[in-house]
Amino acid sequence: MNSFLQMANSGTMYLIVGVVILFVTVMAIVFMVKAWREGIKIGMDKKKMRKAITASATFTLVPSVGILIGVIALAGSLGVPVPWLRLSVIGALHYETMAADVAAKAAGLPALAAEYMTGEAFVSIIAVMTVGIIWGAIFCIFGLKKYQSKVLNKVGKKDDRWGNIMFNAMFVGMVCAFIGAGFADLRKGSITSIVVIAVAAAFMALFSWLIDKKGQKWLESFSLSFAMVLGMGASVVMGLLGVK
């Protein structure tokens, strides 16, 4: 291990990032407790709330392992603590890798790699990764309340059914954008993402059929994670078969 990585992986670094991660964990706990109490106050079924919690926990497990891989992927050049922080607090896999790469090149490194890293460049990279991604949170602090009262509440009050359809449509649009992006790989000569999309969709169809028609209600909390893992598994099989 070179001396840069030794410092980047030191106890001091873990301490610095640990404080921030701990604070955000506390925030999540406070919000969870507040929501739970309010649910009880308005007489919401506790079973429903428990279901929301277990479903979200199971849903999150698989993607979290994916995020962990992101930490591992970046740990080689930035040490473990910094990617750990960046992927726990705001941050997203695609963004962090890209931001670190852009910042490293802007700081004059030939590539994002520990062998070229200097303390100077390291600080620049952390600063760029951090400042680049805080805008959503800042906008929430200053604009969310105004946005909600000006735009959202009106739609909701004027016509409830349309509001509902509109939000669903928004989500359909988002899903289409991501699936469309998968098709771009075809042009690069890779069918893997299309096959993964198709396999995941097919298993989702199968699970929905089992839940709705065959009474397999227990599958509800798992259908999405299972469909995802099976879709991801398809890419492993394709890799083994040598299909791109």
Partner 1 sequence: MMEKSFDDSMHRYGRAFSAVAIVLMLLVPVFVAFYFKTTPNMRGLLAGLASICLIYLPSSIVEVVTYAPMLGTGATYLAFITGNLTNLKIPCAMSAREIVGTEFGTKENEIVSTLSVAVSSLVTCGVLAIGVLLLVPLTPVLSSPVLQPAFSMVVPALFGALGYKYFSKTPLVAVAPFVSMVLLCLLVPAAASQVAVLVPVSAVISIAVARLLYKKGKI
Per CB under 8 A, does 219 bind partner 1? no
Of residues 26 through 85, those in contact with partner 1 by CB under 8 A are 27-32, 34-36, 38-39, 41-42, 44, 48-49, 51-53, 55-57, 59-69, 71-73, 75, 80, 84-85
* Euclidean distance between CA atoms 189 and 185, whole angstroms: 6
CA distances, 120 to each of 33, 63, 74, 99, 112 (Å): 42, 33, 18, 16, 14
- To partner 1, the closest distance from the beta carbon of 216 in angstroms equals 14
Both tokens of 59, joined, read: 């849903």
**Apex 6 CA angle, 5 and 10, nearest 5:** 115
How far apart are the C-alpha atoms of 89 and 134, rounded to whole Å? 10
Subset of residues 125 to 164 that bind partner 1, contact rule: CB under 8 A: 125-128, 130-141, 143-145, 147-148, 152, 156, 160, 162-164
**Neighbouring residues of 179: CB distance < 8 A, sequence distance ≥ 6:** 197
Six-digit token string for 239: 């890799």
If DSSP codes are grouped into helix, strand and coil, which group holds residue 109?
Answer: coil
Q: What is the smallest separation between the CB atom of 146 and partner 1, expressed in angstroms?
A: 10
Q: Radius of gyration of the chain from Cα atoms?
A: 22
Between 2 and 64, CB nearer to partner 1 = 64
Minimal distance, residue 2 CB to partner 1, in Å? 14
208 lies in the site for partner 1, by CB under 8 A:
yes
Q: What x/- string results for residues 85 through 124 when contact with partner 1 is judged by CB under 8 A?
A: x-xxxxxxxxx---x--xx-xxxx---------xxxxxxx
Question: With contacts defined by CB under 8 A, how many residues of the chain interact with partner 1?
Answer: 154
Smallest distance, partner 1 to C-beta of residue 168, A: 6
Select 175 or 214, whichever has its Cβ closest to partner 1.
175
Which pair of tokens denotes residue 229? 């893992």
Rounded Cα gap, residues 231 and 219, in angstroms: 17
Q: Which of 5, 74, 112, 203 binds partner 1 (CB under 8 A)?
A: 203
Interface residue with partner 1, options 1, 214, 240, 241 (CB under 8 A): 240
Residue 49, Cβ density class (10 Å: 0-12 exposed, 13-18 middle, ≥19 buried) = middle
Considering the complex, what minimum distance in angstroms separates the CB of residue 172 from partner 1? 5
Smaller CB distance to partner 1: residue 111 or 183?
Answer: 183
Min dist CB 101 to partner 1, Å, is: 10
191 lies in the binding site for partner 1 (CB under 8 A):
no
Residue 82, judged by CB atoms within 10 A of its CB (0-12, 13-18, 19+), counts as buried
